[in-house]
Amino acid sequence: MILGKTLENWYASHPLIRDLVALQETTWFNPGVAPAAQALGDVGLTAADVADASARLTRFAPYLQRVFVETQSSGGIIESDIVPVPQLQQALAERYGQALPGALWLKRDSHLPISGSIKARGGIYEVLKHAEDLALAANLLTLEDDYALLDSDKARAFFGQYKIAVGSTGNLGMSIGIMGAALGFQVTVHMSADARQWKKDKLRSHGVTVVEYASDYSVAVAQGRQQAQADATCHFVDDENSVNLFLGYSVAGERLKQQLAAANITCDAQHPLFVYLPCGVGGAPGGVAFGLKLAFGDHVHCIFAEPTHSPCMMLGVYTGLHDEVSVQDFGIDNVTAADGLAVGRASGFVGKAMQRSLEGFYTVSDEEMYSLLALMERSEGQRLEPSALAGVPGIARVLADQQDYLARVGLGSEAMAQATHLVWATGGNMVPADEMDAYLAKGRELLAKG
Ligand X SMILES: *Cc1c(COP(=O)(O)O)cnc(C)c1O
| Residues that bind ligand X in the complex, under the rule CB under 6 A | 117-119, 171-172, 278-285, 339-341, 343, 385, 387-388, 426-427
CA distance readout (Å), 59 to 76, 150, 218, 256, 274: 10, 12, 34, 20, 32
Q: Based on CB atoms, which residue is closest to ligand X, 193 or 400?
A: 193
Q: In whole angstroms, how close is the CB of 245 to ligand X at the nearest point?
A: 8
Q: Based on CB atoms, which residue is closest to ligand X, 186 or 192?
A: 192
Q: In whole angstroms, how close is the CB of 347 to ligand X at the nearest point?
A: 8
Is 106 within 8 Å of 425 (Cβ atoms)?
A: yes
Q: In whole angstroms, how close is the CB of 427 to ligand X at the nearest point?
A: 3
Q: Where are the alpha helices (DSSP H) in 118-188?
A: 119-137, 153-159, 171-183
Q: Based on CB atoms, which residue is closest to ligand X, 132 or 239?
A: 239
Q: In whole angstroms, how close is the CB of 424 to ligand X at the nearest point?
A: 8
Q: In whole angstroms, how close is the CB of 261 to ligand X at the nearest point?
A: 26
Q: Based on CB atoms, which residue is closest to ligand X, 13 or 197?
A: 197
CB crowding 88-119: b at 16 or more within 10 Å, else e: bbebbbebeeeebebbbbbbbbbbbbbbbbbb
Q: Based on CB atoms, which residue is closest to ligand X, 49 or 109?
A: 109
Q: In whole angstroms, how close is the CB of 169 to ligand X at the nearest point?
A: 7
Q: Map residue 229 onto helix, strand or coil.
A: helix
Q: Based on CB atoms, which residue is closest to ligand X, 100 or 281?
A: 281
H/E stretch holding 278:
strand 273-278
Nearest to 334 by CA among 421, 170, 215, 238: 215
H/E stretch holding 212:
strand 209-212
End-to-end, the C-alpha distance of the chain in Å comes to 39
